[in-house]
Amino acid sequence: MTVITFLGAGSVVFTRELLADLLSFDELRGVTLSLHDIDQERLETAEAIARRTAEQLGAAPEIRTSLDRRRALEGSTYVINAIQVGMHAATVRDFEIPAKYGLRQTIGDTLGVGGIFRALRTFPVLEGIAKDMLEICPDAWLLNYTNPMAMNIGYLAAVAPELKAVGLCHSVFWTVHDLCELIGVPLDEVDYTGAGVNHQAWLLRWEHRGESLYPRLDEKLASDPELSRRVRMDMYSRLGYFPTETSEHSSEYVPWYLHTDAEVERLRIPVGDYLRISQDNLDEYARVRDDLREGKPLDLHREATEYAPQVIHSMETGVIRRIHGNVANRGLISNLPENYAVEVPCVVDRLGVRPERVGALPAQCAAVNRPFVSVGELTVRAAVEGDPLKVRQAAMVDPNTAATLTLDQIWELCDELTAAHGDLIPEPLRAL
């Protein structure tokens, strides 16, 4: 029996999309869905979504729910993790407190002080999930969607190296999708490879019938000056390889843009954008909950299938797929640090997720990745060692933070964020 467990099932929009994709596969229409959330109302909403989705698709899964994580994990074959520790209130703190110091962020869930403190809130729960899985369902795969992706996978590699875990993110796929649309080339005729770290990987190969598509992108950029007014286009023009996450994300992983008013204006950077996104998610949750209560059908239209359903389908059926996944760097990218998480192509079939060795990234790409990795490595070490000094050191070496604040300001900001998040931060890290 295939049991697919959703942790953080109350992330209703994402749960709806994953369920629609899963139950659209003929071979998965009779699986067991085990839904877990710590919020009773959200769990009830997730259950209603699952039942309505199954009804609309004519599927017949067994659906069970539990507020108890260990019970939800019983018999699990796959565990999809989409938790958000602290929810919207913690996100607001991660933006509003740094803003007082003049530190701009756009998304704040991957790097920078926002990413650091989101990681520190998430790590204890991740460790609990890993311990429970290794005890209750040791053969299950953890399919992680929770950000900060690289830090979370790096932390799991440090505290539970025996856990079968892969981080899934659609950024590489949607980057290629959008670029192909931009230059008018059918996506299904394109071959591509991305590698680096999550949210800062690089499109190393992008080809149509063996021909690189980068020259066509160059022509498009030359013909449309407004197109160059985006962070990713600016980075590509200077580095020679396209970064695989949005301009909003990319702007806060480097020291070049957010601290300068002129660059924010030139590149149309939406400062604080995730506060809007987070509020929109709350509004969407309320709308979906109310629609379900009123008996309205769910919108199950999907332009593309998410990675987790594809991974599960391949492992269950043997259909071979190639995706981009986040795993510990064990000889995969030679010029990035070992054991920290990297994003590389992976082959998926009945044998599981098997990452491909990439070798060395272009020197300039690896150089941009290394500060990103350093922030994550120090954050992971801070948690593993219970060392609050390393939290401050992670913020010190963060490119955007270091380009904006003095060292004393960084120290004060970390102190204030630590106090504001209270017991969401591990106890050893609460006092320096």
Query: What are the residue numbers of the active site?
Result: 170
H or E stretch at 78 = strand 78-81
Residue 15, Ramachandran bin (φ over 0: left; ψ between -120 and 50: alpha; else beta): alpha
Closest by CA position to 75, among listed 160, 15, 132: 132
CA distances from 379 to 34, 123, 155, 314 (A): 32, 10, 9, 34
Q: What are the DSSP calls for 243-312, one per residue?
A: ESS-HHHHHTSSSSSTT-HHHHHHTT--TTHHHHHHHHHHHHHHHHHHHHHTTPPP----SS--HHHHHH
What SS3 class is residue 336? coil
Residue 36 near residue 69 (C-beta atoms within 8 A): yes
Question: CB-based contacts of 425: which residues, under 8 Å, 6+ apart?
Answer: 117, 120, 121, 418
Specify the DSSP element, H or E, that contains 395: helix 388-397
What whole-number distance in Å separates Cα of residue 359 and Cα of residue 44?
47
CA atoms within 13 A on the CB side of 123: 29
- How many Å separate Cα 366 from the centre of its chain? 20
Amino acid in position 261: D
Helix (H) or strand (E) holding 347: strand 341-349
Q: Specify whether the CB–CB gap between 172 and 201 falls below 8 A.
A: yes
Cα distances (Å, whole numbers) of residue 82 to 5, 35, 152, 227, 290: 11, 11, 12, 34, 22
Long-range contacts of 56-60 (CB under 8 A, 24+ apart): 56/297, 56/298, 56/300, 57/20, 57/23, 57/24, 57/29, 57/300, 58/29, 59/23, 59/29, 59/30, 60/29, 60/30
What's the CA dihedral at 405, 408, 413, 418 to 10 degrees?
150
